[in-house]
Amino acid sequence: MTVSEYLKQNTAHYHDAAEEKFNSKKIFSKTFTLEDYRKMIGSNHKMLHDSEDEIFEMLTEKFGKKLQLEDRRKLSLIEKDADSLKLPKLKEDSDLKFENEYEALGAMYVIEGSTLGGNVIAKQLSKTEGFEEVTFHFFGCYRENIGAMWKNFKEVMDAEVKEEHFAEVLKGAKKQYSHLLAE
């Protein structure tokens, strides 16, 4: 079993909880509202605001080039979305911390997964009434490269993380999901 398979299997209930929290089913029935979107962007904004710098600091030395880390920064993109939606500014305080690069990889798995799902969300919402003026900076960040970026992330993670570190990667993913789902 690879670490990406392990994570998918052991975080499925968190993924389902996120879909429930953000009313994801409404996206495909075209009943998703701008207020639903504001909630989704607000929670993802807080997650990135509270974790992106730390994750990148922990991963740069060992994984920077392999993961194309500089192409994966998303905080500035979601800040554009938050500003356009007139969401409140975030405070600087956060108790979200990662112990090592493996936990940071797990946290990044959640971010990259949200981007993968976000690409589908952006496509659907762009065809939904009320979203004509919405710019999808965060959810549309990789555009046509979404598949290649996800594949690269999984391949690097699967090649670099041995089984003895699976639990640490999972711990980071759980911390990140818990932070996303809080409120």
| Amino acid letter for position 102 | Y
Domain of residue 30: give its range: 3-181
| Amino acid letter for position 3 | V
pLDDT digit string (tens) for the chain, length 183 residues: 999 999 999 999 999 999 999 999 999 999 999 999 999 999 999 999 999 999 999 998 899 999 999 999 999 999 999 999 999 998 877 889 999 999 999 999 999 999 988 888 999 999 999 999 999 999 999 989 999 999 999 999 999 999 999 999 999 999 999 999 996
| Amino acid letter for position 121 | I
- Mean per-residue pLDDT over the chain, rounded: 94
Domain count along the chain:
1
What is the distance between the alpha carbons of residues 78 and 18, in angstroms, rounded to a whole number? 18
pLDDT tens track for 144-180: 999 999 999 999 999 999 999 999 999 999 999 999 9
Q: Which of 104, 102, 109 has its CA nearest to residue 55?
A: 104
Residue 76's Cβ-side half-sphere holds a number of Cα atoms within 13 Å equal to 4
Domain CATH number, residue 7? 1.20.910.10
